[in-house]
Structure 1
Amino acid sequence: MHLISFNVFRTLSFPDTHYVKPEHFLRHKEELRRADWVLFPEYWQLNALVHGLNCRVFPSVASYRIGHDKVEMTRAFQTVAPTHTPWTLIESNGPREREMIWDTMPLPFVAKRPKASMGEGVWLIQSRSDWQRYCQAADVLYVQEYLPIDRDIRVVVVGEQVVTAYWRHQADQGFYNNVARGGHIDTSPVPEAAEQLALQLAQDLDVNHAGFDIAMVGGHPYVLEFNRLFGNQGLGKGNELQQAILGYLTAHCAPEDPDGPADPQPPWPVAV
């Protein structure tokens, strides 16, 4: 199995793997065409690799496209798991839309910037002034109901398996559970319902490398978002993630026969 990686840090010690700088990919077109898999390209490379060079990329195209924007992600969640998606309003940033959301969504509520990660670009709206500051900074209005939680669950999925799942407790200043914003990790067992929701979403949306953030409210799991490129703070010191990725790539290495299997012989005589 011949692999080309555009992210050396996520593929360290992968066997038979050649690293190429993303900005130099056009110098390696023939090698890319021959590779069994192309690993962790940048988002801006995706169309050129998939549609121009017919490369098989990992993570999946869906992982990139759905995971690139919270608006697209939430609409996908609403499609396949509406009862597990927090109440969300998405509107253009105009005066009427601002007033409609303010009049509709009970305080407090959460407002987000659609292309932020690691807890950046997230506001807890508790007053009209909070809302005005968010509206001045936002291109698109994206707000969700506030869930009464002090922790959430990160479920790391690769292919068809959960690699790890752990709690993320709220930061000392409150609100944020992200480790990058001061949240801390707790490896106590997580509810099976959280893992099953993450696996079901990954299967339904063809997402094969993601850290899903799941909130538990009264025993009911809600999906907040997923990150295609998740942090490794909760993964421990082993090589479980590498083994899961390599196992998935090996199992899905052979391309499907476009013509399908040969037609079976009919169980009855054929007239000639």
Structure 2
Amino acid sequence: MRLISFDVFRTLGLPDVQVIKPEHFLRHRDDLRDADWVLFPEYWQLNALVHGLKCRVFPSVASYRIGHDKIEMTRAFQTVAPHNTPWTLIEANGPRQREEIWDRMLLPFVAKRPRASMGEGVWLIENQADWQKYCDGAEVLYTQEYLPIDRDIRVVVAGDRVVTAYWRHQADQGFYNNIARGGWADHSAVPSAATDLALKVARTLDVNHAGFDIAMVGSVPYLLEFNRLFGNQGVNHAGLLRQAIFDYLAGELEPRDPPTPVTPVPPWPIAV
């Protein structure tokens, strides 16, 4: 395979990879056109590579576009897995909308900034002062019900399979489970309902490189979000992730006539 990467660290160990700095991509137009895969471009490169140079990119276009904005992501989740998406209100930031959301949401609730990661841009709203402070700095109002959990599950999907899944326990200050915010990883077994849901959603949305964050409330898994460029702190088998990516890239280039069977996934988990 002819591979070009724009992220040397995420493609370490893959064979025969040519690395290009993102800002130099126009100097390598012919190489990019001839490549079998272009790996981990920056978001701002996507249209030029896919529509201009007709490159095949990894992660997928859906991984980029859905993963770029929590509003778009939540609406996609509501479309394909409504029973496994927390109750969410998204409105323009105006006086009427602020009042309506405040009247409808039960305290405490969660407010988010649409474009943030690693636990940044997420607030627990416990009183009207918290709500006012959030609204004063928000372009769009994005609120979700608070789920009573002290840990969540990170499910890592690469290519067409789950590479690993682990618990993320709450940080000492509470609320945040992100390892970047003081949470910690626990590699004990996770419920299959969480991994089944993540893989089903990934396949349905054509997302092929993502760290899904899933909350378990009793036996019901809830989709919180996914990160296209997830942290590797909790991924204790980097070789498995690299192999999953390579297998997927190679497999997608093989002829598929007749189509290659896909491992079946159980039906959607639903609320009980």
TM range, smaller chain: over 0.9
- Equivalent position SS for 2:201: helix
The residue aligned with 1:142 is 142
Counterpart AA for 1:252: E
CA distance in 2, matches of 1:218, 1:231: 27
Identity of aligned residues (%): 75
Q: Which runs of 5+ in 2 are unaligned?
A: 260-272
- In 1, the alpha carbon distance for the partners of 2:56 and 2:254 equals 11
In structure 2, distance between residues paired with 1:143 and 1:253: 42
TM-fit CA distance, 1:160: 1.6
**1:191 corresponds to 2:188:** no
Structure number with bigger Rg? 1
Closer/same/farther in 2, CA of residues 31 and 109 from structure 1, 3 Å limit: same
Under a length normalisation based on structure 1, what TM-score does the superposition of the two structures give?
0.93
Match of 1:179 in 2: 179
Q: Could you tell me how far 1:249 is from its partner in structure 2?
A: 0.1
CA–CA distance in structure 2, aligned partners of residues 252 and 53 of structure 1: 19
Q: Does 1:66 align with 2:66?
A: yes
Residue type of the alignment partner of 1:247: D
Q: CA deviation at 1:13?
A: 2.1
Q: Secondary structure at the match of 1:131?
A: helix
- 1:12 CA drift (Å): 1.0
Q: Distance in 2 between matches of 1:158 and 1:238?
A: 12
**1:234 Cα deviation after fit:** 1.3
Residue of structure 2 in register with 1:232 after alignment: 232
1:177-217 CA-to-partner distances (Å, cap 9, x unmatched) read 00000000111100000000000000110000000000000
3-state SS in 2 of match to 1:116: coil
**DSSP 3-state at the match of 1:239:** helix
For the residues of structure 2 that align with 1:193 and 1:231, how far apart are their CA atoms?
Answer: 23
Matched residues, number: 259
Show the counterpart of 1:50. Answer: 50
Equivalent residue runs for 1:119-138 within 5 Å = 119-138=119-138
Please give the per-residue CA displacement for 1:40-98, whole angstroms capped at 9, x wherever unaligned: 00000000000000000000000000000000000000000000000000000000000
**Aligned counterpart, 2:29:** 29
**What is the DSSP-based 3-state SS (H/G/I as helix, E as strand, rest coil) of the residue aligned with 1:119?**
coil
Partner of 1:267: none
Map of 2:262 onto structure 1: none
**TM value normalised by structure 2:** 0.93
Residue 264 of structure 2 corresponds to: none
- Matched ranges for 1:1-272 at <5 A: 1-254=1-254
Q: Distance in 1 between matches of 2:58 and 2:256?
A: 16
Find the aligned partners of 1:210 and 1:133 in 2 and give their Cα distance. 31
CA distance in 1, matches of 2:223, 2:161: 17
Distance 2:12 2:87 in 1: 40
For the residue of structure 2 that corresponds to 1:200, the secondary structure is helix
Q: Separation in 1 of the partners of 2:162 and 2:235? A: 12
CA positional deviation for 1:255: 7.4
* Residues 1:255 and 1:130: Cα distance change in structure 2 (over 3 Å): farther
Task: Name the SS of the counterpart of 2:162 in structure 1.
Answer: strand
Name the SS for the 1:106 alignment partner. coil
Counterpart residue type for residue 41 of structure 1 = P
Relative to 1, partners in 2 of residues 1:194 and 1:104: Cα closer, same or farther, differing over 3 Å? same
What is the CA–CA distance in structure 2 between the aligned matches of 1:33 and 1:201, rounded to whole Å? 31
CA distance in 1, matches of 2:139, 2:254: 43
5+ long unaligned stretches in structure 1: 262-272
Letter in 2 for 1:83: H
